[in-house]
């Protein structure tokens, strides 16, 4: 039996007639160093350029192209998808540049403010292109959110604890805030979120729900950044099928036309 990932790769190549061209920004960062070799090995993905402040301003010869100037790179290679893991201020520039060059941004940056997400959504409308701004590409974390949606129907009292490595700049994490937003729909008071930053950790999210004489704990642990790869590849392969601002990996797992249609919020 052919694995589902392999079937999807064949379908994408078959539909497009050629591999999905991708530019990776933040190539020298924690996630960039994990993502680059993976993209370079996928048969249906063509990593055409990498962007990092560590590279020269003018495109260096070689494959993939290496450069610190994203607009310059986009003008040269015209990719279908631009992948970014950085910080909100930089990601906003990446998203705008990608849309300006007809590319779909797939962003794993966290820490965006509500107003910044509204700006991205408005950019999607103006450009007619989607933007995938997903705080957690882990399939396990996506399942956690699904389970929590069911659990909160029966145990509405809950709190969230998130733990990350000491180098993570935003607190609470984007995943924790997204969980709180999803599970807190219709509430007048917010869901308490507790943050921990310690060495030795990667990404950990725990939801504790309480009831009369009982409590339920749902927890997801990332032991390495490789857990984000399957979800990222899914987002790259389905980016062109999306519409508007997409903030949840779960949207990409829904079958049928219009897969990954964001709510624009």
Is residue 93 within 8 A of residue 86, CB to CB? The reply is: no
Question: CA 201 to CA 196: how far, in whole Å?
Answer: 9
The owner of tokens 């190549």 is 13
What is the 3-state composition of the chain as percent helix, strand, coil, each rounded to the nearest 5? 40, 25, 35
Is residue 165 within 8 A of residue 201, CB to CB? The reply is: yes
Looking at residue 19, the DSSP 8-state letter turns out to be P
218 alpha-carbon distance from chain centroid: 22
Active site residues: 164, 168
């Amino acid at each position: 039996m052919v694995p589902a990932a392999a079937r999807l790769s064949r379908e994408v190549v078959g539909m497009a007639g050629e591999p999905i061209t991708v530019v990776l920004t933040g190539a020298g960062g924690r996630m960039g160093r994990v993502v680059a070799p993976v993209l370079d090995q996928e048969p249906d993905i063509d990593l055409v350029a990498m962007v990092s402040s560590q590279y020269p301003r003018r495109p260096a010869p070689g494959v993939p192209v290496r450069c610190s100037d994203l607009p310059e790179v986009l003008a040269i290679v015209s990719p279908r998808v631009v992948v970014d893991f950085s910080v909100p201020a930089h990601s906003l520039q990446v998203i705008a540049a990608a849309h300006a060059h007809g590319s779909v941004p797939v962003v794993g940056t966290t820490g965006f403010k509500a107003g910044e997400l509204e700006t991205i959504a408005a950019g999607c409308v103006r450009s007619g292109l989607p933007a995938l701004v997903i705080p957690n590409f882990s399939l396990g974390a996506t399942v956690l959110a699904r389970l929590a949606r069911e659990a909160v129907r029966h145990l509405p009292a809950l709190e969230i604890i998130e733990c990350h490595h000491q180098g993570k700049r935003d607190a609470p994490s984007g995943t924790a805030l997204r969980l709180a937003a999803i599970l807190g729909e219709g509430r007048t008071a917010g869901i308490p979120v507790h943050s921990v930053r310690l060495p030795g950790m990667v990404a950990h999210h725990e939801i504790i729900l309480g009831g009369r004489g009982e409590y339920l704990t749902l927890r997801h642990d990332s032991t390495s950044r490789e857990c984000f790869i399957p979800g990222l590849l899914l987002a790259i392969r389905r980016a062109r099928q999306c519409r508007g601002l997409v903030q949840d990996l779960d949207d990409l797992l829904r079958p049928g036309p219009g897969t990954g249609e964001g709510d624009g919020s």
